[in-house]
Amino acid sequence: MDLSTKSVPPALGEFRISAVLGHGGSGVVYDATWGPRRVALKVLHEGLMGTARVRSQFLSEARVLQTITHPSVVKVLAVGELPDGRPYLAMERLDGETLASVLARGALPLASALTLFDELCEAVGALHTQGLVHRDLKPENVYIVDGVHAVLLDFGIAKELAAPASTTTVDGGVRGTPAYMAPERFFGQPAGIATDLYELAVTLYAMLAGRLPWDDLADPEARLSPQPLVDHAAVPAELDVEIRRALSTRAQNRPASAQSLRDAVRLASGREVATPTAAETARMRPAATEAATQPTVTAARPWFAGRDKTTDRGKTPLAWAPTEPAAGQSPPVRRRWPMIAVALGLVMIGGGLAWWQL
């Protein structure tokens, strides 16, 4: 269905509306104009207006996001309530394409992938510093601006670290995308810094290998097994080790922070670890043009959005590197996933939607 053809109000408060960009479990996103600026306007669903907790959480998290001014995090321009009381979040519109669109054309060169990964780690670190976890890091939620810079998008399911532990959305679904979620999320553990780092590592793997470390429609027990390495001649063995460490099934074995993950990847790839300079910190990405090109929602489901198993036929499988149990330790017992994991998989937010998805 073409969402842009749905009936839309001509205006919402001071925002002039031109089209519906997307729907999510908690709200709708409009293509809007605010004064001279074109924005993406996220508005809470009317059906959730009676839930004071949801309204309060929407505004609280949006205001925290508004304080983040990192060049690799999409800028929140305004937060408030419409005349009818519905809270909204207005963000800048960007000129470029999603990382998912880029990866649909194939894996990235090592240097390009590492540059984008650097920026994503810094963006996620900025969120964590402000007490937020993203919970849905994936190529569809990364925008590539000017062909070279990564900008983190889609905070519709971001969560304050200090908020009560929860893994479900207001409509009962699990927050996140199954193909990128850390194993502990399937067992009901709350999202945190470690789960964001896991999703960052999956995204780096996807950039380097041109595919996911696993088939996201396969038996989810595969997440509890040793992770595959990137089978790519240009990827140093040391980098393979760091990716696998960040993909550890035990959260405590992953790096402690986004900066630690970034620095480990830099060292493993032969890059110098340096404190960002003032110029780097102040680097501004190109301003969005008034006629910014917008990503298109298509019916196709490429590998990064969730595919069927036949998609990979004919490709050389990636190597697996099983770890040996420590001396005196029994091999790990392959646990059966409870039926709740299957149920969660049916209600989790799938990939394949564009960045405006809530």
Residues classed as catalytic: 136
Residues 6+ apart with CB under 8 A from 222: 214
Beta-strand ranges (E) seen in 45-120 are 76-81, 87-92, 96-98
Amino acid in the structure at residue 129: T
Is residue 100 within 8 A of residue 305, CB to CB? The reply is: yes
Total Cβ atoms within 10 A of residue 11: 12
Amino acid in the structure at residue 276: P
Angstrom distance (rounded) from CA 167 to CA 181: 12
Angle at which helix 110-129 crosses helix 193-209, to 10 degrees, equals 170
Angstrom distance (rounded) from CA 33 to CA 127: 27
Total Cβ atoms within 10 A of residue 297: 17
Termini Cα distance of the chain: 17
SS3 168: strand
